[in-house]
Every structure is written in structure tokens, then in C-alpha cells.
Chain A
Amino acid sequence: GAGVSQSPSNKVTEKGKDVELRCDPISGHTALYWYRQSLGQGLEFLIYFQGNSAPDKSGLPSDRFSAERTGGSVSTLTIQRTQQEDSAVYLCASSPVRTEAFFGQGTRLTVV
């Protein structure tokens, strides 16, 4: 079956531009997570969705970051006015409920 799909796989953007990252979770998975992985760092939690609601947004680094999920499925992470420190691999994962998380390939974001 299809896994978690993320697009684009790579994104290079100029500082100050907005970017949208997309995640298609595994069908039927109610939980969806966004993490980011910077070079040499571990996984940093960003946001958790249960269905369409986001009970935990505590990891979003600033108000430039926002995310939504529609139809209990696709999620979009938006970063406004990108900064160089936003450069990282953004990972999306979906999960039935607190069982294992299935990860996508990630979106490598480079802000120049």
C-alpha cells in the first residue's frame, strides 16, 4: 500500500519568501505529525494533528510557522518569510493512534 507522501522532495527558496510543504498520510491514519531534522540534530517536534484539529502546536518555532489538515487527510505546513535557520528536512509522519509512526521521505528545505 501507499506510504506517507511528501512534496516537494526538495525546495530551495530565497530568504523572505513563503513556502508550503505538503503531506499525504496513509489512508485511515488519524494522527499526523510534523517534525524537522536539522544537520547534526535529532528530530524536533513541530505539531500534532488528531483528525483535523491540532491539540499540540507547542513545537512550532515562531508565528511564521502554521499548519493545517483538511478532511482528516492532507496536511500543509506553511513557513512565511523564510529565514536561513529554517533550512532543514521537514518530516511528516502518520499513525493509527499512538502506535508506530510511519514517516515520509521528507522535504529538504534550503533557504538562500
Chain B
Amino acid sequence: AQSVSQHNHHVILSEAASLELGCNYSYGGTVNLFWYVQYPGQHLQLLLKYFSGDPLVKGIKGFEAEFIKSKFSFNLRKPSVQWSDTAEYFCAVIGYNFNKFYFGSGTKLNVKP
């Protein structure tokens, strides 16, 4: 079975600090990669996605992620977080022959004002 690992379960940062959330997946074939965000009381929303091409992808709200194929990683970054970034972040993977999206266990980010 495929798996997605998010190493940080709970991250606490002060505003303006830089953020990097790790994501590793286990599948060796071609994959589509995603980061989703769930703000308190809201539904899951797409933050950014990678299908092919430039491995550095930019998403909404100043987030970016880098796909490193050799490391099976898709880490999420933001240079300067805001209080409004407080949310739970999920990494997800789907492969060509997959019947489902595999999600990581999520990382709760708490940004202190």
C-alpha cells in the first residue's frame, strides 16, 4: 500500500517566521502531488498542486512547494507566516493507476500573533 508521511504533527510559529512542512510519499511511479489546507471550521481547500514541469510550484497566499523526485518529497514552504495561516495542512498523492488520493496525517499550524 502507498503511504504519505508528514513528519510534523503540530507546529507553532510566531508571525513573520518561515515555514517548512515536510511531506514524503512511497510510490516510485508518476504521481500528482497536492497540498490542501483546512482552516478552522472550513472545508479542505487546495493550496497548490504539482503534475509535471517546474518542480517548484507556487500556490495561493504565498505558499510554494518543491518536488524532489529523488527524495520522494514535496515540502511546503512559506517565507513569512501570518496569524491567518493557522490551519491544518494535508499533503496528498495520486498516481496514474490509483483509485484514491492518499493523504498524510496532517500538520496543525498555530501562528501566534
Binding site for B on A (CB under 8 A): 33, 35, 41-43, 45, 48, 55-56, 59, 91, 93, 98-106
The 21 sampled A-B contact pairs (Cβ below 8 Å) are A33-B101, A41-B105, A42-B90, A42-B105, A42-B106, A43-B90, A45-B102, A48-B100, A56-B99, A93-B44, A98-B94, A98-B98, A99-B51, A100-B46, A101-B34, A101-B101, A103-B43, A103-B45, A105-B42, A105-B43, A106-B43
Contacts of A42 in B (CB 8 A): 90, 103-106
* Cα separation A56 to B44 with both chains bound (whole Å): 22
- Give the size range of B's interface with the partner: 20 to 34
* Cα separation A101 to B103 with both chains bound (whole Å): 12
Contact between B99 and A100, CB atoms less than 8 A apart: no
* Cα separation A56 to B98 with both chains bound (whole Å): 10
Contact between A91 and B104, CB atoms less than 8 A apart: no
Asked if A98 meets B32 with Cβ closer than 8 Å, knowing A41-B105, A42-B106, A56-B99, the reply is yes
